[in-house]
Structure 1
Amino acid sequence: MRSAIVLGAGMVGVGTALHLQQRGWSVVLVDRGEPGRETSHGNAGIIQGEAVEPYAMPRDGATLLAIATGRSNDVHYEARALHRHLGPLLRYWWHSAPARHAAASRAYATLIAQAVPEHAALIEAAGATDLVRQGGFRVLHRTPQDMERAAAEAERLRARYGVRAQVLSPAALAAAEPALKQTGAGAIQWQDAWSVRDPGGLVAAYAALFRQRGGTVRRGEAVSLGPTARGWGIRTADGPVEAEAAVVALGPWAPDLLRRFGYRIPMLRKRGYHRHWRGPRTLALPLLDAANGYVMAPMAQGLRITTGAELASPEAAESPVQLARAEAAARDLVDLGVPGEHAPWSGTRPCMPDMLPVIGAAPRHPGLWLHFGHGHQGFTLGPATGRLLAETMSGEVPFVPAAPFRPGRR
């Protein structure tokens, strides 16, 4: 029986472990904590079936000026830390040119098309249907001009990719979401997405399914990974583990580990925040306030407000400027009530400059496999990219073309 160690028990690592297990591999899943308690826990809980094109870096002067002067809440940056991000940012800019972004989108869309079906199979097998809502999510626009542009964009994506969306008037949005105090110029409802009321709980349910099927979950530190006579080994709290293959599914921590093996990964690491609020009423579906760069998502813990991207140094103290702005804007829309916790959660998103995840064999180390860099979509794509990697490792014909995601690409 073939064997593998999967490092990282977020959505990406658990999705990989399950798909390898389905193909007859003996798998040990290793993490320093419980499954689903890091980046996979802290998102808006949306399985984004509509996100067929990755987020490109803005290239128009007005948007860049708004970010540079702090008027946009989509991005916040720590000026003294920008030099750490400069290399990846320049690559991100280059890859965001229209022709290169279009090529990335063609590859990305093949994965997004499989995201909901792959989750659906695991949700049913894990008995986790109570965590999931179908029906999509909504994007509120505050001005008629923004609403008109959004409707045109929704029609473009429908024509090109078959993505389903519904244009909601202010009255229709008010009827669908009675908790809203105002409805702006209306909303776009993306109908192909699913949402989850406890993202970390869904990852934990998938991990429980992995255990139920005979998989092993161990506590261990990734820094102890190294080659052995058999393949690869790692130290865990229950003793050393060896296998013929190892998968690095460590999200934003992957570059630090891989530097020990001579790989330089130009990852752009974006910090994000969330906090829960417990008010008298909540929303039926997640709502993105496009003008203010945040999402309100109904969760088991309350109404979760999540932020955009912060560029800071890894050791910098938390600076939830975006969250404060988001909460102020959200109060115009709903009665937030009281905070569910005093200190916000923060985590880091692993974004590759070319906007595509890294999936495949390490170029110079037999038996070492790489699986990270999903940006804002690790929660959405983990099961789909886990299948792609498992098929590649097993010598199968992959269900989507694998070449665009290979490690070592330029």
Structure 2
Amino acid sequence: MTKDILVLGAGMVGVCTALALRQRGHAVVLVDRQAPGKETSYGNAGIIQREAVQPYAFPREWMAVLRVITRQGNDVHYHPGALASLLPTLARYWRESAPTRYAGTVTAYSALIRHCLTEHDRLITLAGAQDLVSKSGWLQAYRRNLPFEQAARAATTVAQEHGLDCRILDRAGLAATEPALHDALAGAIHWRDPWTIADPGELVNRYVTLFESEGGIIRRGDATTLKQASTGWTVTTDDGPLTAAHAVIALGPWAPALTKPLGYRFPLFVKRGYHRHYAVEPMPKLPLLDVENGLMLAPMKRGLRLTTGAEFAHHDAAPTPVQLVRAERYASELVQLGEPVEPTPWLGARPCVADMKPIVGRAPHHRDLWFNFGHAHQGFTLGPATARLVAELIDGETPYIDPLPYDPIRFEG
């Protein structure tokens, strides 16, 4: 039975949700205030992270916490003025990262991640986007021997437990695998399952083109105008109001602007991040994470994309790209970093949930309203996987994975 459905948010998650529903025969309108793929889905390392079976946990060692508080290192930065409002949610994030709780989270998270390649592969083929894809993996690199040896042992264990393909590269092995690098690293873990994308925003656009070719509709509009109507849900667009029987909120970090007025108090927070492209010659072949300095080098069409770690700040606070300034210095020790391509750095926000699992499923207190947000660092990776899940739930089918770990009902009571 065909349904009229509004999908709010045109990042990777929203686009994939709209596409999954349209491919099932529903009449779907995708609504966003700007063109698709211009926010968080544009500003990432472009990796479909099959190996990411363990979501980022809050550090449990007090020395690591103290290191962040005293602003040592470059992987985390924070705005002191934002901490008061963030502390209750961060405290819950810390509790959920306790070993016994975290083990259950990994089980649920890995159940989604294991489908990321197959779900993307189907869409990549249909969208004719194979030219954007490389299947050579990425490098998790270390400068010092002891952290490298510890990480190598942990990675080997994770790979064995989850059926992943990783190769441990010593200094010589890394130099042979990635000759463009200067000799500043002790070694790396080569995760070989993930796929990398030469232009993340372009992949979203290819999926959008596929959506429109199959009869999907896109409208510019303010998703925060969503209101319940007698016949379903209505939203204001540049072409006037639109009404549909169902609505899916897939707004990533902007979801609270809609869910809070509806009475939902999810433990959501944002991690901001920056990137900039640089001219580099020779260009590295694989993305590389400099773990100890909190930066990622990702070869892209526009140049070498340098991305930062997490910044804890209010979503709409003015940019403070101090991590990127430091990252430029560290990156110059690894490659011949040339001039930046863009005049200013890009800034985006990752939508995070305190229990490290996305919020996917039926709204507990509203008829025909659905949620698909809170993917943290993995919206680009998980977009097609959670889109399939929410589409199956809307259609009343037996979902392909257990939906309970991601159900919004977990935050009720």
TM-score interval w.r.t. the shorter chain? over 0.9
Structure 1 counterpart SS, 2:106:
helix
Deviation at 1:178, TM superposition (A): 1.7
Whether 1:5 aligns to 2:9 is no
Kept in 2, the 8 Å contact 1:296–1:305? The answer is yes
1:83-98 to 2 correspondences below 5 Å: 83-98=84-99
- SS of alignment partner, residue 218 of structure 1: strand
2:41 aligned with 1:40? yes
Instruction: Provide structure 2 residue ranges, at least 5 long, that are not aligned to the other structure.
Output: none
Matched, 1:282 2:283: yes
Q: Offset of 1:154 from its aligned partner? A: 1.3
| Alignment map for 1:265-344 (pairs within 5 Å) | 265-344=266-345
Contact map agreement 1:16 1:383 (CA 8 A) in 2 = yes
8 Å CA contact 2:315, 2:349 repeated in 1: no
Counterparts of 1:393 and 1:72, CA distance in 2 = 45
Q: Say if 1:140 and 1:183, in contact at 8 Å, map to a contact too.
A: no
TM-superposed deviation, 1:159: 2.0
SS at match of 1:318: coil
2-structure distance, mates of 1:314, 1:216? 29
**Counterpart of 1:210 in structure 2: which amino acid?**
F
CA drift at 1:187: 0.7
Which residue in the other structure is 1:157 paired with?
Answer: 158
1:59 is matched with which residue?
A: 60
**Normalising by structure 1, what TM-score?**
0.98
How far did residue 262 of structure 1 move?
A: 1.5
TM-score by structure 2 length?
Answer: 0.98
Asked if 1:389 is matched to 2:390, the reply is yes
Given that 2:198 and 2:299 are in contact with CA atoms closer than 8 Å, whether structure 1 keeps it comes out as yes
| Aligned counterpart, 2:371 | 370
Aligned equivalents of 1:15, 1:171: Cα separation in 2: 41
Q: Distance in 2 between matches of 1:158 and 1:272?
A: 28
Q: Which moved more, 1:151-160 or 1:385-394?
A: 151-160
Distance in 1, matches of 2:136 and 2:128, equals 19
Q: CA deviation at 1:183?
A: 4.5
CA apart distance, 1:342: 2.5
Take 1:56 and 1:178, find their aligned partners in 2: how far apart are those partners? 33
Alpha carbons 1:11, 1:378 under 8 Å: kept: yes
SS of aligned partner of 1:223 = strand
Give the Cα separation in 1 of the matches to 2:11 and 2:313: 23
Offset of residue 337 of structure 1: 0.8
The one-letter code of the counterpart of 2:341 is G
Contact 1:359 1:405 (8 Å CA) reproduced = yes
The runs of 5 or more residues in structure 1 that have no matched partner are none
Partners of 1:230 and 1:189 in 2: CA distance: 53
SS state at 2:206 partner? helix
2:132 is the counterpart of 1:131 = yes
- Are the aligned partners of 1:126 and 1:205 in contact in 2 as well (CA < 8 Å)? yes
Deviation track 1:262-299 (CA, whole Å, cap 9, x = no partner) reads 11222111110001100222110100001101100001
Distance of 1:64 and 1:259 partners within structure 2: 30
State the distance in 2 between where 1:245 and 1:211 align: 19
The residue identity in structure 2 corresponding to 1:206 is Y
Distance in 1, matches of 2:105 and 2:127, equals 32
Structure 2 SS opposite 1:270: strand
Aligned to 1:77: 78
**What CA distance in whole angstroms lies between the structure 2 residues aligned with 1:363 and 1:71?**
42
What is the identity, as a one-letter code, of the residue corresponding to 1:119?
H
For the residue of structure 2 that corresponds to 1:220, the secondary structure is strand
Measured against aligned partners, the alpha-carbon deviations of 1:95-138 in whole angstroms (never above 9, x if no partner) come to: 00001000011000010000011111100100001111111100
- Tell me the percent identity: 52
Q: Would the aligned equivalents of 2:219 and 2:239 in 1 still touch at CA under 8 Å?
A: yes
1:17 matched residue in structure 2: 18
One-letter amino acid of the structure 2 residue matched with residue 239 of structure 1 = G
Q: AA paired with 1:220?
A: G
1:219-250 alpha-carbon deviations (Å, 9 max, x no partner): 01012211122211112112221111000000
2:205 aligned with 1:200: no
Alpha-carbon distance between aligned partners in 2 of 1:173 and 1:38, rounded to the nearest angstrom: 33
Q: Using the TM superposition, name which of 371-380 and 258-267 deviates more.
A: 258-267
- Secondary structure of the corresponding residue to residue 269 of structure 1: strand
Structure 1 residue identity aligned to 2:299 = P
User: What SS does the corresponding residue of 1:71 show, helix, strand or coil?
Assistant: coil
CA contact (8 A) 1:75 1:308 kept: yes
1-structure distance, mates of 2:141, 2:315: 32
State the match for 1:103 in structure 2: 104
Instruction: Give the Å deviation of 1:72.
Output: 2.2
Q: Which secondary structure state, in structure 1, belongs to the residue aligned with residue 236 of structure 2? A: strand
For residues 49-69 of structure 1, what are the alpha-carbon distances to aligned partners after superposition, in whole Å with 9 as ceiling and x for unaligned?
A: 000011110010221111111
Indicate if the aligned counterparts of 2:23 and 2:214 stay in contact, CA closer than 8 A.
Answer: no
Amino acid at match of 1:161: H
CA distance in structure 2 between the aligned counterparts of 1:271 and 1:382, rounded to whole angstroms: 19
Supply the distance in 2 between the matched residues of 1:215 and 1:314 (Cα, whole angstroms): 31
Query: What SS class does the counterpart of residue 115 from structure 2 fall into?
Result: helix
Deviations 1:153-182 (A, max 9, x none): 111112211111001121221122121111
Contact 1:174/1:183 (8 A) holds in 2 = no
Q: 1:260: how far off?
A: 1.6
Tell me how far apart the structure 2 counterparts of residues 96 and 59 of structure 1 sit (CA, whole Å): 7
**Which residue of 1 is the match for residue 28 of structure 2?**
27
C-alpha RMSD of the superposition:
1.0
Deviations along 1:351-381, one digit per CA (max 9) or x if unpaired, are: 0000000000111100110110000000000
Report the Cα distance in structure 2 between the residues aligned to 1:153 and 1:247, rounded to whole angstroms.
38
Residue 220 of structure 2 aligns to which amino acid in structure 1? R
Which range moves more in the overlay, 65-74 or 101-110? 65-74
Residue 224 of structure 1 corresponds to 225
Q: Secondary structure at the match of 2:255?
A: helix
Deviation at 1:408, TM superposition (A): 3.0
Q: 2:224–2:257: 8 Å Cα contact kept in structure 1?
A: no
SS at match of 1:224: strand
